[in-house]
Structure formats: structure tokens, C-alpha cells
């Protein structure tokens, strides 16, 4: 019976999805009717749809049979259709020819400043629209099924997630740093709400707080950067800032500090070293939220910000190198920590940090190359820019896939600890296959999407190392990271899916005489996996994402190629030459074969170490690590996440806590004292003033006359006496 | 026909003032009276909005004005007439759900409502003291009877009697002030008096009139101060607001108060503008006293009607600070805040009336858990209250900002003591947060005292939804157009 119900609701959902998408298409057709050559002008509607559905869910969500899911599906579906149409127009039809389209309106204006809001669409924005629109929509479809057990709380979930997607899309299409900053902060608020979705869990509440506070550190830097920009150039509009390269070049020092501060914002939002600590904890939210944060919305905002600020960064080589170094170091550290985690979501979280590091490495490399070329008058293009954004797109697909897949796994086995999993392959064939493809892709196995972008990044970094030594070190770091990535992702898949369905686990249990002696004993028991395949609403997005994860890399050569649309500056060669030269680089360079070998050996090691035997035990046991002093210390060091959180706690307790205590004392005794004093004084006067109203009409009349008299006395006697006059 | 079409709102009022008693002879059905009054107010409203937005439609020259001897139609008057008619319409609609069908004397009630509105319309267009006084009295006498409308209710009768006595007393004071002015100027029109005053300041008119003008200013202020309820002429307001049937309170708090302000603007900002040294200080002191006393007294009120009455007194104090500043910006801020105040205070009283009418009571306690009973009403009340405090982005913030900003500019440019008024206003706004937020806290953070189901009338729902739209969406988005309107009105006022 319940099965039947499920199927009914399932087909209902599918019908709703297809209908809403069809409606979106029709609406899109009509709203762009008459401006067929200019889809971009409807870009402002993209963030509006989810925000409207946010309001609608809050007001009417309880009446919806899917508890607001329908509104979210419809609103984000509309955005997705519009986003994809714009992405098609810009990236495939090449309607902008590398230029941008801006439309703007004035909200309010003062004597010296006017606040404009509007949209700014170029290839970068179109790419982000594609990624955010598509991935968010798939996540929402997944959520309608994944969150079903939450009951009425789904209303809050869908409302918050709609707002989250809406403000992220707004951030992408905003036309000034100020508007972008407003959305940026809203993204932070939404992530706080969603990470703390299960706020009754202390860990979730503190994770939400941690995410909010840590990213706030970055936000303060970003705001400082914007203040520097505004005080130097008098505007925060992209078009006005970017169209004056001479003006920018003339203020190189200010730009250096401004871009460093802006990158500080990106470090916070995109969880780069040393502000990466919030992201692994952010796993306390629902897995769909993690998927959204990691693949489409939150952390990609930082990468987007750096790419958006590229015209500024290329004037400051210091910033470019700083970005590249931060990216490279973060990629390496995060990958090393990912190797020792047992929580499936934490592994993915560290892998996200590491992959984001890759993107920043690429962006920093590209910016430095542009600066270097301009300085020495050589023809060079920002290969790193294209590579970084290419990796952003590919990563969005395979990371969304991996997170949603892990969500399906968690949904099915109700644990996040990989040691308690294993043997899920038979129970969840679609999920395991889809996640397998994701793993191969992120590991950089040739011809999967991750391979192309990773090699392009390595290539760009290596290219720079000929001119600047530090990029050589970064290249080695990146290569090592590639090996580690391949290793820990294989480990994740092997631990989760391989092995027999039944396996023996040992656990400490209270012995029979525990009450008297307090003894524990080791007991082994056999557990049978109850894993079952997730419903279609959850597997369909997985399959779509899996095919994207496999094939999105080929967009490098499709048509005129990815690099001929998403690039910075001007191409030295003709557009079609670019893609062949990239392909040529990748396929013929010996470096590529090196990275492929490194990647494959990572996969092999992972397979050999973590293959579960017939009893469900991995070949490689922690005992091996613990038997060597060095590896054991390393393991503890990494497991404790480099003691970074502990260090922050220690540091915070020594420094800020003292300041905070002093402030607290001041607040309680001085401020509160004043406030309470004012309050009780007000109460006292209030009761006195009240007595003026006795209720006797005669008194009121005398009050009037007395008041008149008092006015005369004040103005004619007291004031002249005191020597006051107007 | 020609220009007399501009009398249409007044004509509509007069026709229905005669029509409703006539209807009473024909039918005993209480609904018919309210329908009649709704229709005439609705038509008047539509006409005013049309003549406002499409001046061509009625060949009203927007830049100029239509002027008869004692009656003028200009940007200033039309703007306020829209407010009066709209408020009266809302009151008329709400009254149907407030009074039972069995309530006697409903025909009289609606007749009085319309005649009160008629008086306000006359005040908005008055160009001399006599017409102004007449308009005020038409409106006042109707409202005396409306306040005492529930004869069986002791509080209502007591409030009516108090209102009548103090009102008559104040009218006497006003009349005395006007007669003093007439005695020295020999004119009753605003233009005539104004040119005499200009004569004094230019030295054309010889003689020392300082004391006479000062005394007449004081007396006129006393009379008008009664209408706008400022300290020390405010004492009637809490009793009357509490005792009167709440729809009538809505009319008093929203429309009648705005009417008083029109009179104050016309008399002080236009007519007596050139002898401003005389009265500026008086008005400044009244403004400061008014906001301080109003806010302080509001803090310890338990009855929401009384609390809102004191808040009204405080708001009148805020508006008053613009008049000594006497600049176009300050005046348009004052006009904007008067308009917005009519909406937010009217909206709050509509909800108070509704809560009282469904039997929950007028006490602060009865607002506990309102958000659970009706999220819409609670939200609307919250928007009104936050708007009254002046929290962004609600309409009250915008108008108050203009008011303070315009006044501050005047203070910075010239007389520095005006800055003290602005500072007083800002400190008082902070103080007022306390008692407004208390209501919001009661509505959202507490559970209802009894869990009984309460049905709220639909008309109130629609009105409160409209209030939310207006205060939280429409004004904040289109404040620039709002400000333009107020600026035009203040130009029309100051230039005469």
C-alpha cells in the first residue's frame, strides 16, 4: 500500500516537474518575444523567480502538498530555464563576442552618489548561470524526495533554499561590487540558516555559527577592499571600473591592497587556508545543502569573485602570486587531510577545499601571466583563467554528483561513517555506478572531465614556472595533490561500495557483569546491509550529473571550444587555434603523461589498500600506520586537522577572550547601567506624566490655560531674564 | 459647469448628508446607509485621484490653481482631500463590521461621518480664517456626536462630553485669537493678513503690534493645538481615543489630526510667516514638550487605545518641529509625515477596533499570541508600529527621515536652536521604540491566553493587507514620487 502511495507521489512529482518546465519554456518564449536577439535583457528575472518563490513558500507553503517543494521547483525551474537559455545564447551562439551587456536602473541618488542596480552579463556570468541554474535545479529535484521525512519543516527548508539559490544567482548577474556584496552577505545568511537547519542539534547550531563567523572574517576584508576601490575610483560599477585600464594601472598600489582584501573575502567564502575550518563542519546541514554549497552556490562565489575582479588583479602581480600560492597550499593541505577522514561527507568537504585551491591556483597563475606578458611585451593569454573556470564547471558537476550520491547512501544506511559501510554496490547499483564515474572524473582519469581541466591547470602553472620560480614549486604541489586526490577518492568509493553485503564488525559492548565490574568486551557481529536504491527523483539527478561529469570535459573541443568563449583579454591566436593548441599541449606534452601516471597510481594504491575482502575488512588497516612513529604522528596530525581549530581556540582564548571579557564588563556595568537607569527614569517620569491626566474635564481646561500661561512665562520672562534670544 | 466641478467631493458629501436621512424614512435596513456612504466616498475618492493624476482630464492646470473667494483648489488641498476621503471610506467600511446590525441610530452615524468629512474638505481648501473656522467646527461638531455615539456606554458618553467641553473651550480661544488678528489687520483672508504682516516686517505698516500678534498666535495655537493634540492642549486625547467607538477614533487620529495640521500649516507657515520670530519659539517648545510627554506617558499605558493616543501626541510633536524651520524641504517632510501618519495610525486603529469588536478587548494583554490567531493582522500591526517608530524600510522611516533631514538643513543653514529640536526628535524616537516593541513582543512571543477560535471580519483583513502593501512596499519603493507630491504641495502652500 505504502509502496503504491510512493509510486503515485513519484509520478505526481514527475508530472509536476515536466509541467513546470514546459510552463517555464513558454514563459521564456513570451518574455523574450520581440527581443529574439537579446535574451540577456531578461537576466534580471533570474534571481527574482527564486526570491519570489521564497516569499510564496513562507506565505502558502503549508497549503502545498509537497510543503513548499512545488514553489521551489517552479521558481528555481524558471531560473534554470532562463539561465540555460542565456548560457546557450552567450556560450554557444556567442552572441556577445567577448563583450558584456549591462542594464541598469537607479534606485536612489544623492548629491555625490547614486545607487544603481542592474545586471552585467558576460561569458563569466553566463558560465556561472549555467552551473548554478542547472545544479541547483537538480539538487531541488533531489531534495523533494530526500527531505520528505522532515514533514512540516520542509517549508522552512524549501523557503531557505529558494532564497539561497536566488541570492546566488543575483550575485552572479549583479552589475556592481556593491550589489554583489549585498547578495554575498545574503548568501552567508542563507548558508547559516541551512547549515543550522537541524538547529536543535548542538553540533549543527555551532557549525552554523562557525560558518557564519569564519566567513565574516573574509567579508570584513572584502568590505575593506570595496572601500579602498570606492575611495580610489569613485565607483563600484563593473563597467566603469573595468573600462579604464589606464586609470587602473595608474593606481597600482591602491589596487594591490584592494585586490588583496577582495581575495580575503574569497578566502573566507571559498574556505581557503587559513579560513577553511568552517567547511568540514558545515556538513552538519542536510546533504542536499552541502551539495548546493559545494557545487553551485556558496564556495563558488569566492572563485567567481576573483574571476570577476580579474581586470583589477592583472595589475597587481603580488596579489596574483598570493592567490596562486594560497590555492596551491590549500589544495595540498586539504588533500592530505582528506586521506585520513572516515566521515564520507568530510572526505568530500576536504576534497572540495582542495579542488577550490586548484581553481585559485589557476586563476592566480593566469593573472600573473597576463601581468608578465604586459610587462615584457610578449604575447600571452590567461590560460589559467580559462582553466580555472573550466575546472569550476567540471567540479560543480562531479562534486554535486558525489554529494548527492553520498546523500543517497546516507539516506539508505543512516550513517556517515565509511567504516560502517561497504558492500553497498549490489543494493544501490545506480548510485554506486554514478558515484564511480564521479570518482574517476575527480581523480583525473583520462578523458573524464576532471582530467581535462586538471591538466590544463597543471599546464598553465608549468608554463609560468619558466618565468617565475615559485610556480615550479606550486606545480609540484599540484602534481602531488593530484595523486592524493586520486587516492582518497578511490578510498572513499572502495570503502563505501566494495566488498560483500554481509560483514563482520567488532564493537565494544558492556560485558554481562558490567554492572559490578565495569568490564567491556569485544564482540563481533555480522551486519547485513539494508541498502536499497533511492527513488527515481533522487537517482535521475544523479544520472544526469554523472553524464555531465563524464562528458563536460569535451566542451573543450565542441564547436569552437570552451576556451574561445571563456577567456580573459584578447586571444593572441585565432579562436580555433586556441583549442587545438590546448589539445595539442594536453595530448602530446610529457607532463600530461606524468600527471596521468601519478593519477592512475593514486587510484591503484587506493584500490589495493581499501579493497574490502570477503569478510568486509579493508586490506589496509590503521594498525599499519600506527606501527611506524612517523606515519602515526602524521596520521594523528592530519586527523586532528593540523590542530588548526585547536590553535584558533587557544589563540582566541588567550587574546580575544580577554578583550571580550573587558567589553562584557563594560557592557554589563556601564552600558547596561546607563540603559537601565534611563529605563527606570523613563518609567518614573512616565508615571508622573500620567498623573497629568486626572480624568476631570475641569483639570484639562486648566491645563490648557496653565500651559498658555507657562508659554508666556517661558518666552517673555524666563528667556529674556536668562539672556537667551533667538 | 466650468470650474464648479471641483466642488464635486463636497457636493457628493452634501447630497448624501441629505440623502441618508431621506433613506432612513424609506428603509430601516442598516446596510443601505453604509452602502450609500461608501458609494459617495468612493466616488469622491475616485474623482480626487483622477483630478490629481490626470489634470488634463478636468482641465485643471497643475501649475496653477482654481480659486474662489474663500475656497481654493491646489496641489496642497487635493493631496489632503485624498487622505480625508480615503480615511473616511476606510472608517465607513470598518464601521459596518464594528457595529452590529441591531445597533440603533446607524443612519445618524453615517450622516455624521460624512458631515465630518465635509468639514475637513472645507478646511483643506479654506483661504480665509472664517471658512477655516467653519470647516473645523462642522467637522468637530459631527465628531462630538460620533464620539458619544454609544449612549449606553458610560465611557463613550463621558468621552463625548469631555471632547465637547474642551473643544468648545478651544474654539473660543481660536476665535479670540482670530478676532485679535482681524482687529489689527482688518482682514480675514490669509492673503490679506499675510500682506499686512509683510508690511510690518518691511516697515510699510507703522506701529508696534508685537504683543498683539504674540497673544493672537498663542490663542490660535491653543485652539489648533487642541485639534492636533499637542502638549499642553492634549489632555482630552487619551480619554476620547479610549472611550470613542474605535472607527471614530480612527477618524480622529488619522483625518481630524491631519485637518488640524492643515490649519496649522496655513496659519503659521503661510499667513504669519513674515512675523515668524514671534511664534517660532512657542511652536518649538510645544513640539519638544509634546514628543517628550507623549512618549513618556505612552510607556506606562496598559490600554492600547490610550497608548496609541499618546503616541499620536508624540508624532504631532515630531511634525511640529518642521514649522519653525519654515523651509520648503522641512515643510514637505512635515506634509509627508502627516500623510504617512494618517495611514499608519489609521491602520493601527483599524486593527485595534477589530480586535476589540471580536471580543478580545482593548488591553495590551489581549494582543498576546495575535500572530497565532491571525498572522495577517499581526503582520499589519507590526508594520504599522515599526513604521510609527521609523524603522527602515517602512514608510514612517522615509517620511520621518525627510522631516528630520529638512529641519536639520534649516537648522544648519540658520538658526541653530532648531538642531536641538531635531536631536530631541531622534532621542524621542529611540524612547518610543520601547512601547511599540512591547506590543509586537506580545503578539509574537506569547501564546494566546485562551485558545478560543476567533473569526476576523474580511473587510479588516483586506484593509490591513492594503496597509501592509502601502507602508511596506509601495511607499518604500516609490518614495521619490511621494516626496515629489509633498514638495509640490509645500510649494503650493508656501507660495500661496
Mean pLDDT of A376-399: 82
The domains of chain B are located at 300-496
Of A72, A78, A67, A79, the C-alpha closest to A9 is: A67
Torsion of CA B421, B424, B425, B430, to 10 degrees: 170
- Rounded Cα distance between A641 and A281, Å, is 12
- Rounded Cα distance between B11 and B44, Å, is 9
Contact with chain A for residue B227, Cβ under 8 A: no
Nearest to B296 among A682, A699, A710 (CB): A682
Q: How far is B238 from chain A (nearest CA, A)?
A: 8
Q: Which of A303-312, A531-540, B128-137 has the highest mean pLDDT?
A: B128-137
Contact A685 B226 (CB under 8 A): no
Give A620's pLDDT tier (boundaries 50, 70, 90): low
C-alpha cell at B35: 452602502
Please identify which residue in the block is written with the cell numbers 529640536: B421
Task: State the pLDDT at residue A551.
Answer: 82
CB neighbour class for B458 (10 Å; exposed up to 12, middle 13-18, buried from 19): exposed
Q: In B, residues 361-380, which contact A (CB 8 Å cutoff)?
A: none
Residue A2 has pLDDT above 50, yes or no: no
CA–CA distances in Å: residue A681 to residues A341, A676, B277:
59, 8, 35
Nearest to A708 among B218, B280, B434 (CB): B218
Contact B235 A704 (CB under 8 A): yes
Closest alpha carbon within chain A to B155: A695
- Cβ-Cβ contacts under 8 Å, A52 against chain B: none
Nearest to B169 among A687, A704, A726 (CB): A704
Nearest to A689 among B281, B286, B293 (CB): B293
Of A77, A90, A92, A151, the C-alpha closest to A122 is: A90
Please identify which residue in the block is written with the cell numbers 587555434: A577
Contact A699 B235 (CB under 8 A): yes
| Strand-pair partners of A528 | A502
Using DSSP, state whether A121 is helix, strand or coil.
strand
Closest alpha carbon within chain B to A678: B431
| Predicted complex: ipTM over 0.90 | no
- Number of A/B CB contacts below 8 angstroms equals 80
The more confident residue out of A60 and B188 is B188
Nearest to A700 among B235, B285, B431 (CB): B235
Report whether the peptide linkage leading into residue A274 is cis, meaning its omega lies within 30 degrees of zero.
Answer: yes
Radius of gyration of chain B measured on its C-alpha atoms: 22
Task: State the pLDDT at residue A4.
Answer: 46
Q: How far is A146 from chain B (nearest CA, A)?
A: 30
Closest alpha carbon within chain A to B218: A708
B427-481 pLDDT per residue, tens: 999 888 888 988 998 888 888 877 677 788 888 888 888 888 888 888 888 888 8
Using DSSP, state whether B246 is helix, strand or coil.
helix
Q: Is the dihedral of CA A703, A709, A712, A715 positive or negative?
A: negative
Nearest to A704 among B161, B222, B286 (CB): B222
C-alpha cell at B298: 505612552
Contact A711 B480 (CB under 8 A): no
Task: State the pLDDT at residue A622.
Answer: 56
Task: State the pLDDT at residue A3.
Answer: 46
- Cβ-Cβ contacts under 8 Å, B239 against chain A: 693, 695
- Cβ-Cβ contacts under 8 Å, A710 against chain B: 232
- Cβ-Cβ contacts under 8 Å, A682 against chain B: 296, 299, 431, 434
Q: Which of A116-125, A336-345, B191-200, B274-283 has the highest mean pLDDT?
A: B191-200
Report the percentage of chain A scoring pLDDT > 90: 0
- Rounded Cα distance between B33 and B16, Å, is 9
Residue among B300, B311, B380 with most chain A CBs within 10 A, to mutate: B300
Q: How far is B442 from chain A (nearest CA, A)?
A: 19
Q: What is the DSSP string of B354-396?
A: HHHHTTS-SBGGGGTTHHHH-HHHHHHHHHHHHHHHT-TTSHH
Contact with chain A for residue B423, Cβ under 8 A: no
- At residue A716, what are phi and psi to the nearest 5 degrees? -100, -25
Q: How far is A104 from chain B (nearest CA, A)?
A: 16
Q: Which residues contact B229 (CB under 8 A, 6 or more apart)?
A: B236, B237, B257, B260, B309, B312, B313, B316
Contact B239 A695 (CB under 8 A): yes
Nearest to A704 among B170, B239, B434 (CB): B170
* Residues of chain B falling short of pLDDT 70: 1-3, 54-67, 451, 496
**pTM as predicted:** 0.66
Closest alpha carbon within chain B to A695: B239
Contact with chain A for residue B299, Cβ under 8 A: yes
Nearest to A700 among B166, B285, B293 (CB): B166
A454-487 pLDDT per residue, tens: 888 888 888 888 777 788 888 888 888 888 888 8
Q: Mapped to the 3 state alphabet, what secondary structure does A662-676 carry?
A: HHHHHHHHHHHHHHH
C-alpha cell at A136: 541547483
Give A1's pLDDT tier (boundaries 50, 70, 90): very low
Q: Which residues contact A170 (CB under 8 A, 6 or more apart)?
A: A47, A51, A179, A183, A186
Contact A726 B280 (CB under 8 A): yes
Task: State the pLDDT at residue A204.
Answer: 83
Q: What is the DSSP string of B132-166?
A: HHHHHHHHHHHHHHHHT--TT-HHHHHHHHHHHHH
Contact A703 B232 (CB under 8 A): yes
Contact with chain A for residue B280, Cβ under 8 A: yes
Residue A573 has pLDDT above 60, yes or no: no
Contact B282 A715 (CB under 8 A): yes
- Rounded Cα distance between A224 and A614, Å, is 58
B337-394 pLDDT per residue, tens: 999 999 999 999 999 988 888 888 888 888 888 888 888 888 999 999 999 998 888 8
Pairing type for strands B66-67 and A101-109 reads unpaired
Residue among A715, A716, A724 with most chain B CBs within 10 A, to mutate: A715
C-alpha cell at B255: 483625518
- At residue A510, what are phi and psi to the nearest 5 degrees? -70, 130
Of A154, A307, A291, A293, the C-alpha closest to A211 is: A293
Contact A682 B233 (CB under 8 A): no
Task: State the pLDDT at residue A523.
Answer: 61
- Rounded Cα distance between A139 and B304, Å, is 49
Q: Which residues of A touch B (CB under 8 A)?
A: 108, 679, 682-683, 685-687, 689-690, 692-693, 695, 697, 699-701, 703-704, 706-708, 710-712, 714-716, 719, 726
CA–CA distances in Å: residue B487 to residues B181, B328, B479, B491:
29, 7, 12, 6
Nearest to B300 among A683, A695, A699 (CB): A683
B337 Cα distance to chain centroid: 10
Helix axes A644-654, A656-665, angle to 10 degrees: 40
Query: For all residues of chain A together, what is the average pLDDT?
Result: 78
Task: State the pLDDT at residue A469.
Answer: 78
Give A528's pLDDT tier (boundaries 50, 70, 90): low
Using DSSP, state whether B474 is helix, strand or coil.
helix
Nearest to A706 among B232, B236, B300 (CB): B232
- Rounded Cα distance between A429 and A435, Å, is 10
Report whether the peptide linkage leading into residue B237 is cis, meaning its omega lies within 30 degrees of zero.
Answer: no
Chain length of chain B: 496
For A367-376, A584-593, B386-395, which range has the lowest pLDDT when averaged over its residues? A584-593
A704 Cα distance to chain centroid: 66
Please identify which residue in the block is written with the cell numbers 572540495: A352
Contact B285 A708 (CB under 8 A): no
Amino acid at each position: 500500500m505504502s509502496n503504491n502511495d510512493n509510486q503515485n507521489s513519484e509520478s505526481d512529482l514527475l508530472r509536476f516537474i515536466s509541467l513546470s518546465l514546459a510552463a517555464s519554456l513558454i514563459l521564456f518564449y513570451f518574455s523574450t518575444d520581440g527581443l529574439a536577439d537579446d535574451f540577456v535583457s531578461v537576466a534580471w528575472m533570474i534571481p527574482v523567480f527564486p526570491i519570489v518563490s521564497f516569499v510564496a513558500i513562507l506565505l502558502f507553503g503549508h497549503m502545498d502538498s509537497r510543503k513548499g517543494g512545488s514553489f521551489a521547483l517552479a521558481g528555481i525551474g524558471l531560473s534554470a530555464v532562463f539561465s540555460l537559455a542565456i548560457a546557450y545564447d552567450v556560450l554557444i551562439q556567442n552572441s556577445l563576442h567577448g563583450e558584456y551587456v549591462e542594464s541598469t536602473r537607479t534606485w536612489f541618488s544623492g548629491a555625490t552618489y547614486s545607487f544603481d542596480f542592474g545586471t552585467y552579463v558576460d561569458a563569466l556570468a553566463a558560465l556561472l548561470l549555467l552551473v548554478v541554474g542547472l545544479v541547483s535545479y537538480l539538487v531541488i529535484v533531489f531534495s523533494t524526495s530526500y527531505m520528505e521525512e522532515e514533514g512540516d519543516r520542509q517549508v522552512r527548508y524549501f523557503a531557505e533554499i529558494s532564497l539561497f539559490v536566488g541570492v546566488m544567482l543575483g550575485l552572479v548577474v549583479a552589475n556592481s561590487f556593491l550589489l554583489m556584496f549585498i547578495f554575498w552577505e545574503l548568501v552567508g545568511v542563507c548558508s547559516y540558516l541551512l547549515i543550522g537547519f537541524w538547529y536543535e542539534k548542538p553540533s549543527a547550531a555551532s557549525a552554523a555559527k562557525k560558518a557564519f563567523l569564519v566567513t565574516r572574517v573574509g567579508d570584513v576584508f572584502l568590505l575593506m577592499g570595496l572601500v579602498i576601490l570606492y575611495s580610489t575610483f569613485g565607483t563600484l560599477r563593473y563597467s566603469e571600473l573595468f573600462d579604464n585600464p589606464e586609470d587602473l594601472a595608474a593606481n597600482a598600489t591602491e589596487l594591490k591592497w584592494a585586490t588583496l582584501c577582495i581575495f580575503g573575502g574569497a578566502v573566507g567564502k571559498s574556505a581557503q587556508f587559513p579560513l577553511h575550518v568552517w567547511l568540514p563542519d558545515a556538513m552538519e546541514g542536510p546533504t542536499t545543502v552541502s551539495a548546493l554549497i559545494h557545487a553551485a552556490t556558496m564556495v563558488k562565489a569566492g572563485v567567481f569573485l576573483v574571476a570577476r575582479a580579474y581586470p583589477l588583479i592583472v595589475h597587481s602581480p603580488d596579489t596574483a602570486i598570493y592567490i596562486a600560492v594560497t590555492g596551491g597550499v590549500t589544495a595540498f593541505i586539504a588533500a592530505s587531510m582528506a586521506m585520513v577522514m572516515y566521515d564520507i561527507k568530510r572526505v568530500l568537504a576536504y576534497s572540495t577545499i582542495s579542488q577550490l585551491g586548484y581553481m585559485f591556483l589557476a586563476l592566480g597563475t593566469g593573472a600573473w601571466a597576463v601581468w608578465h606578458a604586459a610587462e615584457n611585451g610578449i604575447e600571452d593569454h590567461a590560460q589559467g583563467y580559462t582553466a580555472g573556470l573550466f575546472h569550476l564547471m567540471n567540479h560543480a558537476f562531479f562534486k554535486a554528483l558525489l554529494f548527492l550520491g553520498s546523500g543517497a547512501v546516507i539516506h539508505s544506511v543512516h550513517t556517515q561513517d565509511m567504516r560502517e559501510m561497504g558492500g553497498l554496490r549490489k543494493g544501490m547499483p545506480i548510485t554506486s555506478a554514478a558515484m564511480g564515474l564521479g570518482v574517476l572524473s575527480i581523480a583525473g582519469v583520462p578523458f573524464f572531465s576532471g582530467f581535462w581541466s586538471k591538466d590544463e591547470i597543471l599546464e598553465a602553472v608549468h608554463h609560468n614556472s619558466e618565468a617565475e620560480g615559485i610556480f615550479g614549486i606550486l606545480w609540484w604541489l599540484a602534481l602531488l595533490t593530484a595523486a592524493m586526490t586520486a587516492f582518497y577518492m578511490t578510498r572513499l568509493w572502495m570503502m563505501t561500495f566494495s566488498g560483500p553485503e554481509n560483514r563482520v564488525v567488532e564493537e565494544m559492548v558492556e560485558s554481562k557483569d558490567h554492572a559490578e565490574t565495569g568490564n567491556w568486551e569485544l564482540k563481533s557481529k555480522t551486519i547485513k546491509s539494508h541498502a536499497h536504491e533511492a527513488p527515481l527523483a533522487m537517482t535521475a539527478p544523479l544520472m544526469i550529473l554523472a553524464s555531465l561529469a563524464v562528458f563536460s570535459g569535451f566542451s573543450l573541443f565542441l564547436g569552437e571550444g570552451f576556451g574561445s568563449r571563456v577567456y580573459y583579454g584578447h586571444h593572441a591566436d585565432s579562436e580555433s587555434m586556441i583549442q587545438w593548441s590546448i589539445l595539442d599541449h594536453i595530448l602530446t606534452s610529457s607532463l600530461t603523461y606524468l600527471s596521468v601516471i601519478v593519477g592512475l597510481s593514486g587510484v591503484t594504491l587506493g584500490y589495493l589498500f581499501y579493497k574490502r575482502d570477503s569478510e568486509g575488512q579493508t586490506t589496509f588497516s590503521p594498525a599499519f600506520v600506527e606501527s611506524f612513529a612517523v606515519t602515526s604522528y602524521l596520521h594523528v596530525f592530519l586527523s586532528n586537522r593540523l590542530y588548526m581549530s585547536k590553535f584558533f581556540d587557544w589563540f582566541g582564548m588567550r587574546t580575544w577572550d580577554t578583550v571580550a571579557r573587558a567589553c562584557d564588563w563594560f557592557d554589563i556595568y556601564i552600558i547596561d547601567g546607563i540603559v537601565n537607569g534611563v529605563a527606570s527614569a523613563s518609567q518614573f517620569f512616565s508615571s508622573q506624566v500620567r498623573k497629568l491626566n486626572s480624568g476631570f474635564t475641569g483639570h484639562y481646561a486648566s491645563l490648557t490655560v496653565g500651559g498658555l500661561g507657562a508659554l508666556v512665562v517661558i518666552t517673555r520672562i524666563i528667556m529674556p531674564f536668562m539672556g537667551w534670544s533667538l | 459647469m466650468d470650474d464648479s466641478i471641483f466642488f464635486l467631493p463636497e457636493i457628493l458629501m452634501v447630497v448624501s448628508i441629505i440623502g441618508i436621512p431621506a433613506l432612513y424614512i424609506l428603509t430601516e435596513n442598516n446596510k443601505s446607509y453604509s452602502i450609500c456612504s461608501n458609494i459617495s466616498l468612493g466616488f469622491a475618492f475616485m474623482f480626487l485621484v483622477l483630478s490629481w493624476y490626470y489634470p488634463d482630464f478636468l482641465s485643471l492646470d497643475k501649475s496653477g490653481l482654481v480659486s474662489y473667494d474663500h475656497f481654493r483648489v491646489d496641489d496642497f488641498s487635493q493631496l489632503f482631500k485624498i487622505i480625508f476621503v480615503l480615511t473616511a471610506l476606510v472608517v465607513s467600511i470598518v464601521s459596518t463590521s464594528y457595529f452590529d446590525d441591531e445597533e440603533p441610530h446607524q443612519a445618524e452615524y453615517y450622516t455624521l461621518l460624512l458631515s465630518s468629512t465635509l468639514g475637513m474638505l472645507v478646511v483643506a481648501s479654506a483661504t480665509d480664517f472664517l471658512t477655516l473656522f467653519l470647516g473645523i467646527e462642522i467637522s468637530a461638531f459631527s465628531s462630538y456626536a460620533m464620539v458619544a455615539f454609544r449612549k449606553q456606554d458610560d465611557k463613550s458618553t463621558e468621552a463625548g462630553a469631555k471632547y465637547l467641553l474642551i473643544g468648545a473651550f478651544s474654539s473660543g480661544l481660536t476665535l479670540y485669537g482670530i478676532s485679535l488678528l482681524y482687529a489689527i489687520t482688518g482682514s480675514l483672508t490669509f492673503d490679506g493678513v499675510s500682506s499686512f504682516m509683510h508690511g510690518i516686517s518691511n516697515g510699510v505698516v507703522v506701529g508696534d503690534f508685537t504683543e498683539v500678534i504674540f497673544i493672537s498666535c498663542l490663542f490660535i495655537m491653543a485652539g489648533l493645538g487642541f485639534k492636533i493634540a499637542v502638549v499642553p492642549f492634549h489632555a482630552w486625547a487619551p480619554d476620547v481615543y479610549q472611550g470613542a467607538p474605535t472607527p471614530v477614533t480612527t477618524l480622529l487620529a488619522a483625518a481630524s489630526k491631519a485637518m488640524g495640521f492643515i490649519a496649522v500649516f496655513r496659519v503659521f507657515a503661510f499667513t504669519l510667516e513674515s512675523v515668524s520670530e514671534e511664534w517660532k519659539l512657542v511652536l518649538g517648545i510645544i513640539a519638544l514638550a509634546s514628543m517628550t510627554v507623549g512618549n513618556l506617558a505612552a510607556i506606562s499605558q496598559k490600554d492600547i487605545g490610550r497608548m496609541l493616543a499618546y503616541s499620536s501626541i508624540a508624532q504631532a510633536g515630531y511634525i511640529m518641529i518642521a514649522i519653525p524651520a519654515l523651509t520648503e524641504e522641512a515643510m514637505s517632510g512635515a506634509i509627508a509625515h502627516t500623510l504617512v501618519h494618517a495611514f499608519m495610525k489609521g491602520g493601527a486603529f483599524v486593527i485595534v477596533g477589530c480586535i476589540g469588536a471580536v471580543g478580545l478587548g482593548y488591553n495590551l494583554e489581549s494582543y498576546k499570541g495575535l500572530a497565532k490567531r491571525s498572522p495577517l493582522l499581526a503582520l499589519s500591526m507590526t508594520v504599522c508600529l515599526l513604521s510609527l517608530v521609523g524603522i527602515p524600510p517602512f514608510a514612517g522611516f522615509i517620511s520621518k527621515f525627510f522631516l528630520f533631514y529638512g529641519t536639520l538643513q534649516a537648522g544648519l543653514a540658520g538658526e541653530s536652536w532648531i538642531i536641538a529640536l531635531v536631536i530631541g526628535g531622534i532621542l524621542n524616537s529611540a524612547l518610543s521604540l520601547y512601547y511599540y516593541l512591547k506590543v509586537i513582543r506580545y503578539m509574537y512571543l506569547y501564546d494566546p491566553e485562551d485558545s478560543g477560535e476567533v473569526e476576523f471580519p474580511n473587510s479588516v483583513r483586506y484593509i490591513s493587507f492594503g496597509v501592509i502593501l502601502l507602508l511596506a512596499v509601495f511607499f518604500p519603493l516609490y518614495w521619490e514620487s511621494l516626496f515629489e507630491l509633498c514638495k509640490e504641495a509645500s510649494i503650493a502652500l508656501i507660495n500661496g
